[in-house]
Structure 1
Amino acid sequence: MNFRSVAAAFAASVVMPFTAVQAAELEVTHWWTSGGEAAAVAELAKAFDATGNKWVDGAIAGSGGTARPIMISRITGGDPMGATQFNHGRQAEELVQAGLMRDLTAVAEKERWREVVKPQSLLDSCTIDGKIYCAPVNIHSWQWLWLSNGAFEKAGVAVPTNWDEFVTAAPALEKAGIVPLAVGGQPWQAAGAFDVLMVAIAGKDTFYKVFKDKDADVAAGAEIAKVFKVADDARRMSKGTNVQDWNQATNMVISGKAGGQIMGDWAQGEFALAGQTAGKDYTCLPGLGVNEIISTGGDAFYFPVLKDEEKSKAQDVLAATLLAPATQVAFNLKKGSLPVRGDVDLAAANDCMKKGLDILARGNVIEGTDQLLSADSQKQKEDLFSEFFANPSITAEQAQKRFADIIASAD
């Protein structure tokens, strides 16, 4: 996509001062539309409105894969919003390079983001040519298996403590009319589940060799073959899910219609909204109970270049507000994610959040694939695993060969 000509059209008329702020309305686009997500977004809006400005909610139904093209089209087409959500990583890279996104370095320096944002990789993902272009708001880790305690009680088996026990329990769940593993139809869900399996089964070093070093030989090798074998088990266990959205799959676990779900920690927001308690109603296994490592991906807000001077000033206020300690606590407690600040009090965190915080404190972390792969390479991976989970005629060996080809050409 060519953004350069669009950028040139903006250049002459844009003013981006960093001075005193007057009240302004800012449209903020995002894809947080499930019940738990909406409750978390309301905390961000409340904090920004308290500054005298106005958050105009621009929620786009569907996943990030649905929302991002709409957001990008608006920005490149001359109809930018005040701020927009992307994931940490390279999703907005071309927009930044085209000059369509605000440089937030002055805000970051004033608010001491380099000192308080942990881990450093979060700001590194916002940094291009030494300048900071986004405000990270949370740490979302993919590496979780969520289990319905009630489903296992109904099936007459103990709640698993790791992936192998979960696979062993699958026949009892099926006999009780329960889908063992809920996997929704959105492509990113299947791809994310495979990434989680890779870290749990093959380990951190292999994960980085594949996604960071783009080593196609490793992707085609014996260690990844083991992962595909486990992914084949997951595919078999997910037969009968018959839902599309991730939160619908989560609701299957909440209602006991499914035994478990591999999903990021944002699933906690849905359990909380349903009034369920970690350790009592549901169980969470970081790293599938096999390898307690979490990814430090998540969400960040970018601020398109605007022609309106007052709105540009308000963008600075919003960026600072998103990382303010009180905002970080209120938002992340409802989102189920971890704060990006290392200096906030999360005494109210539930058992699962405390597990995540402990893993983070021990430094058992990896970067997310959004940080390691371009958006195009991610899309190819998503398409492969969406097809693999939906079509049992594709063998694990065939899927691995296609996966190795994707890694060989990945950027």
Structure 2
Amino acid sequence: MNFRSFAAALAATVAMPFSAAQATDLEVTHWWTSGGEAAAVAELAKAFDATGNKWVDGAIAGSGGTARPIMISRITGGDPMGATQFNHGRQAEELAEAGLMKDLTAVAEKEGWKDIIKPASLLESCTIDGKIYCAPVNIHSWQWLWLSNAAFEQAGVAVPANWDEFVAAAPALEAKGIIPLAVGGQPWQSAGAFDVLMVAIAGKETFEKVFKDKDADVAAGPEIAKVFKAADDARRMSKGSNVQDWNQATNLVITGKAGGQIMGDWAQGEFALAGQVAGQDYTCLPGLGVNEIISTGGDAFYFPVINDEAKSAAQDVLAATLVAPATQVAFNLKKGSLPVRGDVDLAAANDCMKKGLDILAKGNVIQGTDQLLSADSQKQKEDLFSEFFANPSMTVEDAQKRFADIIASAD
């Protein structure tokens, strides 16, 4: 399929109902500011601009934890943007329930989203009381270990095939002045790493008992104790990272200053921007090479209610454009994520993306914790693991008890 031709045809299709006079600027806020992320966002902007409207970029530096309060404050304060990024899940739930988010049900029905968006949980996360409030744009999975082939070559050990081999190789890396595991200082990074370790070590059933069923007894039990032991290994291996942002930690791997990083598949965008080739310069291990299961988290765009006919019409155009086949291909190839629709051609995908597509096709998936926990419970979890990774004196026993308490009160 010629996707440039498809994009042109799509642009003509979605722009047709609106005259040039109705075309308008639309501010879009998001937190995609790393090099790889910016390249991906440019594809979304290009697709929307092709409809005759204009994407006004409202990037907010920092992570989602930094950006979301700003976005929410603007929406609740009467200064809404045209569209805004949130993660799949419950982050915009209260805004939608308060009537501050636009109902996209008509757009979704016209575009046939229920038939094409896979897995169905993505659209379900957008649905409240039967109405659809967001347009999913990607599937991001957290469950990856990214390894620097050069770092292990310098250390004189083979590139690990799984988490246990990685832990065993840590002393050899340290002997060469290489940080075994890069972890940035943002709380969501350490919390995410723990979630990845849980799926790999304790398995899907235990993960879902804890985060989906909110089973505090399981959270306090022996299977999760094994996960905390692994988290303690990760804490020890990450000593000396001394970076804040996730992409700075990824850069430590890219430059061979760190052996590896537990990070979502969005890290691929940084490797691609640096000109590195999967399987040659770096190795990716889904499920840490232990348990090949990926989460179907990711990103969606919500559209605040705006009392402006032209902008409201442009919101519908943008929603349709984001899910369109050509946009899905161009964006996700740059972002390192998987498309939300299974009817697109990803022949250009690299080895790591193909691994993710294969796991997705097999149905070896879980929902991300953003989909399973409220924003408040997620924040409590992030605070705990931020402290755990930063404070070596916190015992695994104390940390597990606090974790079980969080799960006991989670919603």
Q: TM-score range by the shorter chain?
A: over 0.9
Structure 1, residues 336-367: CA drift from partner, whole Å, max 9, x if none?
00000110000000000000000000000000
Equivalence for 1:368: 368
Equivalence for 2:400: 400
> Matched residues in 1 for 2:49 and 2:258: separation?
40
- Kindly indicate whether residue 197 of structure 2 is the aligned counterpart of residue 166 of structure 1: no
Write out aligned runs for 1:101-180 (5 A).
101-180=101-180
Structure 1, residues 270-321: CA drift from partner, whole Å, max 9, x if none?
0000000000000000000000000000000000000111000000000000
Equivalence for 1:388: 388
Structure 1, residues 173-223: CA drift from partner, whole Å, max 9, x if none?
000100000000000000000000000000000000000000000000000
TM superposition shift of 1:88: 0.2
- Kindly indicate whether residue 246 of structure 2 is the aligned counterpart of residue 246 of structure 1: yes
Equivalence for 1:30: 30
One-letter code aligned to 1:348? A
Write out aligned runs for 1:255-270 (5 A).
255-270=255-270
Write out aligned runs for 1:210-249 (5 A).
210-249=210-249
Structure 1, residues 246-274: CA drift from partner, whole Å, max 9, x if none?
00000000000000000000000000000
> Matched residues in 1 for 2:134 and 2:401: separation?
36
> Matched residues in 1 for 2:89 and 2:104: separation?
16
TM superposition shift of 1:20: 3.9
Structure 1, residues 357-384: CA drift from partner, whole Å, max 9, x if none?
0000000000000000000000000000
Secondary structure of 1:233's counterpart equals: helix
Identical pairs, percent: 89
Write out aligned runs for 1:176-215 (5 A).
176-215=176-215
One-letter code aligned to 2:239? K
One-letter code aligned to 1:251? N
Secondary structure of 2:180's counterpart equals: strand
One-letter code aligned to 2:335? K
- Kindly indicate whether residue 300 of structure 2 is the aligned counterpart of residue 300 of structure 1: yes
One-letter code aligned to 2:353? M
Gap runs ≥5 in structure 1: 1-18
Equivalence for 2:285: 285
One-letter code aligned to 2:203? G
Write out aligned runs for 1:17-56 (5 A).
20=18, 22-56=22-56
> Matched residues in 1 for 2:41 and 2:174: separation?
37
- Kindly indicate whether residue 358 of structure 2 is the aligned counterpart of residue 358 of structure 1: yes
One-letter code aligned to 2:391? N
Equivalence for 2:334: 334
Equivalence for 1:317: 317
One-letter code aligned to 2:79? D
Secondary structure of 2:342's counterpart equals: coil
TM superposition shift of 1:34: 0.1
One-letter code aligned to 1:163? W
Equivalence for 1:79: 79
Secondary structure of 1:387's counterpart equals: helix
Gap runs ≥5 in structure 2: 1-16
TM-score relative to the length of structure 2:
0.95
| Equivalenced residues, count | 394
> Matched residues in 2 for 1:318 and 1:179: separation?
43
Superposition CA RMSD, Å: 0.8
- Kindly indicate whether residue 343 of structure 2 is the aligned counterpart of residue 343 of structure 1: yes
> Matched residues in 1 for 2:297 and 2:283: separation?
22
TM superposition shift of 1:81: 0.1
